[in-house]
Amino acid sequence: MSVPKADQRLLQRHAPELRYHVLEPYRADSCAELTDSFVRGGYSNELRSRDPDRVIARSAPTPGTPRLSLALLAAAAGKQYYPGGPKASKTDYLAAHEGTLVQDAQRLHALPAYGNVTYARVVDGTAGRRWLQYWLFYLDNPFHVGPIGRHQGDWEMVQIAVDAHDRPLWVTYAQHERGARRDWGDVTVVDSTHPVVYVAKGSHASYFDAGTHPRSDIPLGLGKDHTSDGLAPVRPAPRFLDPDVDTWLRWPGAWGATKNLIDHSPAGPAMQKERWERPEEFHAKAVDAVVQVGLEAEAAVVAGPPTPEVAAALAGDALRVDYAFPAVAEGATDPVRVEVAIHGVAGPPSVGRFDVAALRGSVLLARPLGDGPYRVELAAYNAEDDEALAVPIDVAGPASAASPGAPQGGGPAGGVAVAVAAAVTASVPGAAPPQPADAVRVVVHAPRSGPAAVRELHHAVAALAGGPWTVGPLFGPPDRSARELARFQLVSGPAPDVAGTDTPAATFALAQALASLGPAWTVEPDVPSSVSVPDPEEDGAALEDDLPPVAWALKACRLPEAWRLTQGAGVVIGQPDTGYTDHPELIGALDTLRDLDVLTGAADAHAVLRGFPPAAFPSHGTCTASVLASREPGQITGAAPLATVVPIRTAPTVIHVRNAELAIAVNYARTIGCHVISISMGGVLYPGSLRAAIRRAVADGVIVLAAAGQPLPLVVEPASYPECIAVGGTTSAGEPWLLSARGEEVAVSAPAKKVWVAATGNHPSPDQYHVAAHSGTSFAVALVAGSAALWLAHHGQDVLIKRFGAAGLQGAFRWAVRHTATVPPGWDTRHHGAGILNAEALLQLKLADIPVGKPARPSAPRTDTAAWTLARAAALAPGTVDAAARVAATLGEDDAVIAAHGPELLYRMAEHADVRAEVLAPAAGAAAARDSAALEEAPALVTGHPRLAALASPGLRAALSGE
């Protein structure tokens, strides 16, 4: 079954709005935070059993131990057995890593696949009524009074009764072991439809009002729930529960490792029988919250602690918070502890709980993600757990802070800093804000991180004509493990409505205008690239009955022989592409719980099937995923049949790819723990943010590979980056594919011409899901990436990292795959790599034979130099007489001009055959036209560069005219 559209709209219409306490460290997020969390080279969450005590699965799998995921729980719930393992039991439990729960929750909350989630369903009631249920998951419940209260994992629930006409009647909020109820008319609602939920600090119980709420389950009145209204409200996105799909709901174990005489971690939603199966009964037993409020007011007879004054200052990677209580007045109570929260520009805060030994004191607390500004919240508590909230204060970030020894407080951090914070908060965590397809965008790399650099960029953007312009961090909230990525900002605005000016020309013009920031800044255009076209037309294309056998590519790489050693179980491959379709050949191969659509920020990477090749290739991601990991038996088998692929929709079609989305996708794959990243897309002029994301991933131990490209001869980006492993293409005859890119950047080659894939038509039909033979280096890189997964599974990533180091893993694999490749007679190793992939020899190679510490590849030249421009021109047209000289002559032989405008010229030459012929052929051009015929038939040549000038930005146009 599937959730009806009418029910989805109803659940969205009434999704609750959450108001968190200012000291709350956790957020209602995906329950996959508990199954997926690990730190590479550090710790891992686990699925364990108490009877007998054993580890069943790990978030970061080790040899012989499967990967923990919701999909694993779903398999156990549906069949009552883990794949290839024991029967699921109530004694099984999910164990989070203790000591880092807040940090893990913050790290995953910042990722779109995890942050701000509510699980929504509709349950039939009586008398025509229906119940809308919203289940909320929190990674931990830190509330405690002594040994009472605290437990890993926390499921909460809010439900709304609607009549036969979908009009709200009643509301029930879960509170500990009971519930509280109100009539709809007595509930605070937003936009007339969304009920407001005040989330209690620590316990996450749901309340109808802000304030202090005594708890009947804590003896002697020592425990109270506190709610407040000091943070911006959050409305988590509903994920519609389908019992036929979300079978993890029937997993019988505990969502957390806590089990003692007093407290234990909760069962999942469907295991909480009364709330799940009998919502009307749960509502009837709930306490009338209107009466409850009056009782609470009568019970509040003890005066709270005094309210302290607060100051704060930066202290390295921490903030020092000073507090001072006034003398305790008669009738008041002594403070016994303070709790402190430091909020950054996005996401949950850093929190701390400290005993009070004197009326004055100082505490240190780690800064949250990001470079500020920060807001400091502090509350004092007495022995009866009454609360006194101090006035919040703001502290500037490190780049603009005063002396660390001088506490600051009182007012905001300044108008500009507040504006910057607002812009950052408005961005989608982990993804650039959605933009129109024709938006003008540039990626700016600041010479330093922090608010001061962002303010400088804002001032420069404010002085630009046109717009309106927006500025935000390209990679979302900063990641402490990848601080260098925080220096990339995305500047975007509407494309100008000027006749004869296309979006790339306007983008180059914007980049030139921002050159006023100075030479320390890098400003690079984010333009769509369409040069790497799959299935290009070929001379002498094979007839249908001449197609090679379905498994030819696998046999050519000796993959069936490699499968005798391993099939890649436990390895996760990140796949930036056009998304996926529900093709039967992909059943079991995809991780659809961590998939992401970078274009929209949605946690759903389904392809949008529109258009026809060659104008669009939206099912390209399905094709490449099938080459990576389709299961046996099937018409198609992937290179690593038991590996898992995380699809990341990065482009609407593989021939319209921007740098920004691909950079975000690579970084997302790194942050969710992918072991391999397979990039079957590329283009020309992908600037530094993508290379930085790949460099960070490689440093963290991820193997990153990319297709060399076709039909142009130059190796496209990102395959041409030194940090990336470039893969070229071959034919079923074991020869280099005529249309494959070639060059010294290519590490190895693999089958690319007429590789059998799982294909999907763009329009419904009886054969919409089918298999076909497609061509492209996209499939060559998928074969090598799948072999990388086999290599990791065979040796074990922990073993490999111990020997080569995380940062050395990419270089070790590059060396191994090159030195085990099959070298046919007459093979050109300079242009087509070391040979053809041999997966069997790759896995049989002893680790002791792979050198340790060997550099991955020599560093590539900077992309803003004349030498780089001329080298790329020569690679773009290797058969053309003096291609580099033609480009230099076009720009006037001046190195500064070539460096400034050469990238735009190369982009236009790569994108437009007529511009390429115009630049590469002299006015009298017969000889040059003959030389360029290997690329495409050149049109009639004309004197000068009229076609280029018509497309050029004002800066390039001036360079062409010699101004």
| pLDDT tens track for 577-630 | 999 999 999 988 998 878 889 988 888 899 888 766 655 677 899 999 999 999
Lowest mean pLDDT among 115-129, 201-215, 233-247, 361-375: 361-375
Measured distance CA(960)–CA(963) in Å, rounded: 8
User: Is residue 623 within 8 Å of residue 757, measured between CB atoms?
Assistant: yes
| Residue 111 φ/ψ, nearest 5 degrees | -95, 135
pLDDT of 429 = 34
- For residue 546, the model assigns a pLDDT of 74
Kindly list the distances between the CA atom of residue 63 and the CA atoms of 46, 501, 573, 795, 945, in Å, as whole numbers in the listed order. Answer: 14, 56, 17, 8, 60
Instruction: Round to whole Å and give the CA distance between 212 and 209.
Output: 9
331 has pLDDT over 70: no
pLDDT at 401 over 60: no
Peptide bond into 711 cis (omega under 30): yes
Q: In the structure, what pLDDT confidence band is assigned to residue 1 with cuts at 50, 70 and 90?
A: low
Tokens of 305: 């602690």
Residue 659: enclosing H or E segment and its boundaries? helix 659-671
| Residue 303's pLDDT band (cuts 50, 70, 90) | low
Among 70-74, 568-572, 725-729, 851-855, the least confident range:
851-855
Rounded-to-integer distance, Cα 457 and Cα 521, Å: 10
Pairing status of strand 360-366 against strand 318-324: antiparallel
User: Structure pTM?
Assistant: 0.74
pLDDT(409) > 70: no
Cis peptide before 468 (omega within 30 of 0): yes
User: For position 557, what pLDDT does the model report?
Assistant: 98
Residue 363 in this model has a pLDDT that exceeds 70: yes
Name the β-bridge partners of 310. 323
CB 133 within 8 A of CB 154: no
Weakest-pLDDT range from 70-84, 751-765, 895-909: 70-84
Half-sphere exposure of 749 toward its Cβ, with a 13 Å CA cutoff?
A: 35
Mean per-residue pLDDT, 501-516? 86
602 by DSSP, 3-state: which?
coil
Greater pLDDT, 562 or 474: 562
Name the residue with higher pLDDT: 477 or 435.
477
Name the strand (E) or helix (H) holding 239: strand 237-240
Which pLDDT does position 609 carry in this prediction?
83
User: Is the pLDDT confidence value at 427 over 60?
Assistant: no
| Helix H or strand E encompassing 900 | helix 895-911
Amino acid at 764: P
Place of tokens 């709330």: 275
Categorize the per-residue pLDDT at 134 as very low, low, confident or very high, splitting at 50, 70 and 90: very high
CA distance 208 to 186: 9
pLDDT at 72: 83
Sign, Cα dihedral of 913, 910, 708, 861: positive
- CA 462 to CA 442: how far, in whole Å? 15
Considering 140-144, 419-423, 846-850, 886-890, the range whose residues carry the highest mean pLDDT is: 846-850
| Confidence (pLDDT) at 79 | 66
Q: Report the alpha-carbon distance of residue 70 to residue 88 in Å, rounded.
A: 13
- Tell me, what's the pLDDT at 704? 98
Lookup: tokens for 244: 């036929």
Q: Which is more confident, 549 or 145?
A: 549
Report pLDDT digits (tens) over 687-700: 689 999 999 999 99
Output the CA angle 800-806-812, nearest 5 degrees.
Answer: 55
Residue 221, pLDDT above cutoff 70: no
Helix 809-819 / helix 797-804 crossing angle, nearest 10 deg:
100
Predicted pLDDT of residue 952 = 87
Rg (CA), the chain: 30
The owner of tokens 């029930």 is 172
Is the per-residue pLDDT at 775 higher than 80? yes
Least confident of 197-206, 515-524, 562-571, 707-716: 515-524
Using pLDDT thresholds of 50, 70 and 90, give the confidence band for residue 726: very high
User: What is the structure's pLDDT at 963?
Assistant: 62
Q: Report how far Cα 399 is from the mean position of its chain's Cα atoms.
A: 27
Which of 26-35, 472-481, 940-949 tops mean pLDDT? 26-35
How high is the pLDDT of residue 948?
86
Class of residue 708 by CB neighbours under 10 A (exposed 0-12, middle 13-18, buried 19+): buried
**pLDDT of amino acid 688:** 85
CA atoms within 13 A on the CB side of 349: 22
Which residue stretches of 93-160 are H helix? 101-109
Query: What 8-state DSSP symbol labels residue 374?
Result: E
Mean pLDDT of 553-568: 96
Q: How is 744-807 classified by DSSP, letter by letter?
A: TTEEEEEE-SSEEEEEE-SS--TTSEEEEEE-SHHHHHHHHHHHHHHHHHHH-HHHHHHHH-GG
Q: What's the CA gap between 429 and 29, in Å, rounded? A: 13
For the chain, how far is it from start to end, CA to CA, in angstroms?
67
Closest CA to 696 of 719, 728, 664: 664
Cβ atoms of 640 and 554 within 8 Å: the answer is: no
| Strand order from edge to edge, sheet including 522-525 | 470-473, 488-493, 440-445, 522-525
Which whole number is the average pLDDT over 415-429? 27
User: Can you tell me whether residue 396 is helix, strand or coil?
Assistant: coil
Dihedrals phi, psi of 959, to nearest 5 degrees: -65, -35
Instruction: Look at 645 and 383; give whichever has higher pLDDT.
Output: 645
Q: What is the pLDDT of residue 318?
A: 83
Return the higher-pLDDT residue of 455 and 268: 268
Q: Under 8 Å CB-to-CB from 597, ≥6 apart: which residues?
A: 579, 603, 604, 605, 606, 649
Main-chain phi, psi angles of 323, to 5 degrees: -130, 150
CA distance 707 to 601: 25
Amino acid identity, position 935: L
* 17 CB-contact burial (10 Å; exposed 0-12 / middle 13-18 / buried 19+): middle
Predicted confidence (pLDDT) at residue 926 exceeds the cutoff of 80: no
SS (H, E, C) 513-565: HHHHHCCCCEEEECCCECCCCCCCCCCCCCCHHHCCCCCHHHHHCCHHHHCCC
Q: Which residues are bridge partners to 441 per DSSP?
A: 492
Q: Which residue has the higher pLDDT, 639 or 877?
A: 639
Percent pLDDT > 90 in the chain is: 47
Cα atoms in the Cβ-side hemisphere of radius 13 Å centred on 510: 32
Query: What would the mean pLDDT of 12-30 be, rounded to a whole number?
Result: 95
Tell me the pLDDT of the chain averaged across its residues: 84
Please check the confidence at residue 136 and state whether its pLDDT lies above 70.
Answer: yes
pLDDT number for residue 683: 86
* Residue 419: per-residue pLDDT: 25
pLDDT at 424: 27
Inter-residue contact 393 to 382 (CB < 8 Å):
no
Q: What is the mean pLDDT of residues 236-244?
A: 89
pLDDT tier at 437 (50, 70, 90 boundaries)?
low
Those residues whose C-beta lies under 8 Å from the C-beta of residue 49, and which sit 6 or more positions away, are 56, 86, 89, 91, 92, 93
- Write out pLDDT tens, residues 451-508: 788 889 988 998 888 778 888 888 876 666 677 898 999 998 887 765 556 888 889 9
Q: How far apart are CA 850 and CA 168, in angstroms?
A: 67
Assigned token pair, 925: 């051009």
| SS3 of 811-873 | HHHHHHHHHCCECCCCCCHHHHCCCECCHHHHHHCCHHHCCCCCCCCCCCCCCCCHHHHHHHH
Highest mean pLDDT among 195-199, 227-231, 232-236, 426-430: 195-199
Q: Which residue has the higher pLDDT, 241 or 344?
A: 241
What's the mean pLDDT in 165-190? 94
Arithmetic mean of pLDDT, 402-420 = 27
Confidence of residue 62 (pLDDT cuts 50, 70, 90): confident
Give yes or no for residue 924 having a pLDDT over 50. Answer: no
Residue 189: Cβ within 10 Å count: 16
Taking the mean position of all CA atoms in its chain, how far away is CA 842?
31
Helix pair angle (895-911, 883-891), 10° resolution: 120
Residue 296: predicted pLDDT: 46
Q: Which residue has the higher pLDDT, 942 or 804?
A: 804
One DSSP character per residue, 434-460 reads: P--TT-EEEEEE-SS-SHHHHHHHHHH
Q: What is the pLDDT of residue 164?
A: 94
User: Which of 737, 704, 738 has the alpha carbon at shortest distance from 721?
Assistant: 704
Instruction: Give the whole-angstrom CA distance, residue 468 versus residue 495.
Output: 10
Who has greater pLDDT, 575 or 297? 575
